[in-house]
């Protein structure tokens, strides 16, 4: 690959001059128009591409942001990632993404790796294992924005959905439809967004005098999610026979629908279903699944905007702790 030096030699000037010309600083640095022209011409002809590694080393800026999500193969996160990539590129930034897959320690290790990679900023769906390293980043004034959830102990911006309100609206939607024996199926992750969703359910049900006992809650161990979760849900539904069920996430919803299919339950007559987080194909299910939609694009855009603000690339955001409202997508399952 041709370097700036090669280019300089070709034109017969110093590397300094070439650098100025290429970076549009000709006027400021008094490089004559004629020479600038020649340099640009030669650059094109050589197919010169600046070596970003060298630029990064010299300037201390990689123009890369690190994005850590739970699982890039998950519909929610891959869509989030896509929008984030788009948005970031509008500011001249690239995105490197990585999945923690909720493996203990993986997140910590990923931050570490991104650090070595000298990324300029971080977009993180955090878990407890990352707290220490995130604290360290923040102490060094490195821009970090949390997304989808936050660690309560951290003074760090975040963009997420209003999980509490989302579930409340979901429950109220079911109540309005005269369902009263409602169950909530979730996953036992000790993270804020899950706690908020659970609390939203318990509070609303309690407020209506409908929270009779803990059996209205099914908490699947996260580790089981890929194994016997379907059987567990099936067993639960058979035993408790709720009139309606609210699934706490995308993937729990899919597992739940599988259980319902196995049981050959009639939705919504035997069992009404609402799922937190929409899915590309929920409208194709029979009946189509009613969902609580998270506005993925707004979340992504909001997070990037705050991050760019923190990095001094865009106007600094005033509000740094953002909760976005969900909306109910009414279909046929409830």
CA distance 308 to 120: 10
Note whether 75 binds a second copy by CB under 8 A.
yes
Name the residue nearer to a second copy (CB basis): 119 or 218. 119
Q: How many CB atoms lie within 10 A of CB 72?
A: 16
281 belongs to the binding site for a second copy (CB under 8 A)? yes
Q: Does 210 bind a second copy (CB under 8 A)?
A: no
Among 55, 73, 136, 207, binds DNA (CB under 7 A): 55
Residue 246: C-alpha distances to residues 186, 289, 292 (Å): 9, 11, 10
Q: Least distance from C-beta 36 to DNA, angstroms? A: 7
Our measurement of the distance from residue 63's CA atom to the centroid of its chain's CA atoms, rounded to an integer in Å, reads 20
Question: Peptide bond before 287: cis, by omega within 30 degrees of 0?
Answer: yes
User: For a second copy, which residue of 6, 19, 29, 71 counts as binding (CB under 8 A)?
Assistant: 71
Contact stretch for a second copy (CB under 8 A) within 108-116, 166-174, 183-191, 301-309: 108-116
Q: Which range in 1-9, 101-109, 163-171, 229-237 contacts DNA by CB under 7 A? A: 1-9
Instruction: Choose among DNA, a second copy, none what residue 31 binds, the Cβ cut-off being 5 to 8 Å by kind.
Output: DNA
Report in angstroms the alpha-carbon separations of 217 from 49, 102, 145, 157, 252.
58, 22, 32, 31, 13
138-145 own/partner pairs: CB under 8 Å, 24+ apart: 143/307, 143/310, 143/311, 144/310, 145/121, 145/303, 145/306, 145/307, 145/310
29's contact among DNA, a second copy, none, with CB below 5 to 8 A by partner kind, is: DNA
Interaction of residue 29 with DNA, rule CB under 7 A: yes
Residue 141 to residue 138: CA distance in whole angstroms: 5
Least distance from C-beta 116 to a second copy, angstroms? 5
Q: 123 in helix, strand or coil?
A: strand
Q: Does 10 sit near DNA (CB under 7 A)?
A: no
Distance of CA 94 to the CA centre of its chain: 16
Residue of 175, 166, 122 whose CA lies nearest to 144? 122
Nearest distance, CB of residue 68 and DNA, angstroms: 22
* Under rule CB under 8 A, residue 280 binds a second copy: yes
Angstrom distance (rounded) from CA 293 to CA 271: 21
Window 39-58: residues binding a second copy (CB under 8 A):
49-54, 56-57
Q: Which does 98 bind (CB under 5 to 8 A by kind): a second copy, DNA, none?
A: a second copy
**Is residue 139 close enough to count as binding a second copy by CB under 8 A?**
no
Tell me which residues touch a second copy (CB under 8 A).
1, 49-54, 56-57, 62, 71-75, 78-79, 81-82, 85, 94, 96-99, 112-113, 115-118, 140, 254, 257-258, 261, 279-281, 283-286
Tell me which residues touch DNA (CB under 7 A).
1, 3-5, 12-17, 19-20, 22-23, 29-32, 35, 48-51, 54-55, 57-60
């Amino acid at each position: 690959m041709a370097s700036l030096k090669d280019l300089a030699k070709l034109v017969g000037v110093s590397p300094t001059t070439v650098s100025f010309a290429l970076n549009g600083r000709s006027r400021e640095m008094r490089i004559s128009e004629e020479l600038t022209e020649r340099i640009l011409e030669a650059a094109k002809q050589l197919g010169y591409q600046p070596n970003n590694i060298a630029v990064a080393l010299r300037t201390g800026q990689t123009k890369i942001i690190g994005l850590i999500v739970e699982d890039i193969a998950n519909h929610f996160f891959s869509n989030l990632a896509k929008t984030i990539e788009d948005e970031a590129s509008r500011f001249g930034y690239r995105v490197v993404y990585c999945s923690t897959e909720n493996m203990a320690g993986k997140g910590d290790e990923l931050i570490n790796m991104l650090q070595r990679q000298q990324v300029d900023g971080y977009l993180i769906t955090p878990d407890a294992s990352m707290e220490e390293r995130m604290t360290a980043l923040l102490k060094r004034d490195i821009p970090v924005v949390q997304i989808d959830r936050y660690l309560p102990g951290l003074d760090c911006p975040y963009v997420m959905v209003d999980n509490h309100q989302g579930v409340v609206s979901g429950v109220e939607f079911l109540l309005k439809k005269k369902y009263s024996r409602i169950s909530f199926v979730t996953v036992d992750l000790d993270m804020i967004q899950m706690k908020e969703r659970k609390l939203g359910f318990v509070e609303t049900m309690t407020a209506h005098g409908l929270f009779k006992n803990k059996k209205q809650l099914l908490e699947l161990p996260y580790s089981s999610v890929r194994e016997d979760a379907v059987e567990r849900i099936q067993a639960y539904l058979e035993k408790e026979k709720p009139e309606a069920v609210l699934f706490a996430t995308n993937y729990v919803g899919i597992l739940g629908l599988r259980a319902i299919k196995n049981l050959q339950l009639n939705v919504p007559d035997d069992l009404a279903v609402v799922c937190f987080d929409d899915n590309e194909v929920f409208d194709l299910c029979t009946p189509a699944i009613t969902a609580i939609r998270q506005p993925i694009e707004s979340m992504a855009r909001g997070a990037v905007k705050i991050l760019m603000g923190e990095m001094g690339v865009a106007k600094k955001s005033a509000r740094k702790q953002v909760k976005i409202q969900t909306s109910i997508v009414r279909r046929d399952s409830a």
